[in-house]
Structure 1
Amino acid sequence: MTTSEKLKNDLQTILSGQPWYGESIYNIFDKVNFEAAYTRAGHAHTIAEILLHLISWTEEVMDRLNGKPASLPNSGNWPHPGEPDEERLKIWIDDFKLVSLNLLKTIEDFPENKWDEIFIDERNNEPTNTYRELIYGFIQHQVYHSAQVSLLVSAIIG
C-alpha cells in the first residue's frame, strides 16, 4: 500500500467509515439539528463554529498539499457563522463533505516521493512538518473537533 493510499484510507475511515473509537464525523454531523448547531453550551464553540473551523482547515491543508506556503486558512481560523440560518447550515454540512472529498482526491494524487518533504510555515518562515505529518496531524485535528461536536450533540439534544 502506498503512502497516499494509507493516508487516504485513514482519513476516509474517520470521515465516513467505522473508526475504532466510535462514530464517523459524517454520522456525527448527521445528528446535528438547526437548534443544536447554534446553541452555545457555556463558553464552548457552537457546532456551527466548529463546522466552519473544520472547513477552513480542510481547505488550508489542501492548499499546502497543492504547494502553497503554510498559513492560517484564507477564511480564518474560527470564521463567525453570523445569524442562525437553517439553509446555510445545510449548505455548510454539504460543503464540509465536498471539501473533504476534494482533500481525499488531493491525497490520492499527491506524488509519492513528496510525502517526506518538509514545507515552510509562512507565519514564522521556518520548516515545520512533512506532508505525511501534516495529514496525520490533520486527522487528529478532525477527530478532536468531531468529539467536541458529539459531546455538544449529546448535551443539547440528549
Structure 2
Amino acid sequence: MSTAQKLQQELENVLSGDAWYGSPVYNIIAQVSFEAAYERPPNHAHSIAEIVLHMLGWTEEVIRRMQGHTAAEPPGGDWPDAGTPDEHKWKTLVNDLKLMNVELIGVIENFPEEKWNTPINDTRNCELGTGVSYEALIRGLIQHHIYHSAQISLLNRIVG
C-alpha cells in the first residue's frame, strides 16, 4: 500500500469511517443542532461553529501547503467569527468542511510517492506546524481533526 493510500484511508476513517477511538468527525458533527453550534460556552470558549470554521480553515491551509505554498495561517484566519446563528449557514459550513476534505483526499491521491518524506517549503515552527514532511503535515491535520471533534462532542453535551 502506498503512502497516499495509507493516509487517505486514515483520513477517511477519522472523518466518516470506523475510527479506532470512537465516533468519526462527521457523525459527531451530525449530532449538533444549529442552535447548539452557535451557543457560546462558559468562560469565552469557542463555539462549535467556530471550531468547525477553524477545522475548515486549517484543512484549506494544508491543501495550500501540499501545493507548494509557503506556510501561513489559513486565508480566513485561525479562529474566524461564526456570526449570528443561522440554520442554513450551519448546514453550509458542515458541507464546506466535507467538500474541503474531499479536495484534500484528491490532493493526497495525486501526490508523488517520492515527495512524502521531504520537508514542506518552510522552516520549523511548532505553533504553525511548519518545517515537517508532507506526510507529517497530513498526519498532523488528522490529529487536529480528532482533537477538535472531541471538543465538539464535549461542547455539544454542555450546550446541546
User: TM-score, with normalisation over the residues of structure 1?
Assistant: 0.93
Counterpart Cα distance in 2 of 1:75 and 1:81: 11
What are the within-5 Å matches in structure 2 for residues 39-78 of structure 1?
39-42=39-42, 43-78=44-79
Counterpart for residue 145 of structure 1: 148
Q: Which runs of 5+ in 2 are unaligned?
A: none
Q: Which runs of 5+ in 1 are unaligned?
A: none
User: TM-score, with normalisation over the residues of structure 2?
Assistant: 0.92
Amino acid at match of 2:110: D
Amino acid at match of 2:24: S
Equivalent pair of 1:69/1:122 in contact (CA under 8 Å): no
Counterpart Cα distance in 2 of 1:145 and 1:11: 14
Counterpart Cα distance in 1 of 2:63 and 2:116: 14
Give the superposition deviation at 1:120.
3.1
Counterpart Cα distance in 1 of 2:100 and 2:50: 17
Amino acid at match of 2:101: S
Amino acid at match of 2:146: V
- CA deviation map 1:119-148 (0-9, x unaligned): 233797xx7100011011111111000000
Counterpart for residue 36 of structure 2: 36
* Number of aligned residues: 155
Counterpart Cα distance in 1 of 2:147 and 2:158: 17
Counterpart for residue 95 of structure 2: 94
| Bigger Cα displacement from structure 2, 34-43 vs 44-53 | 34-43
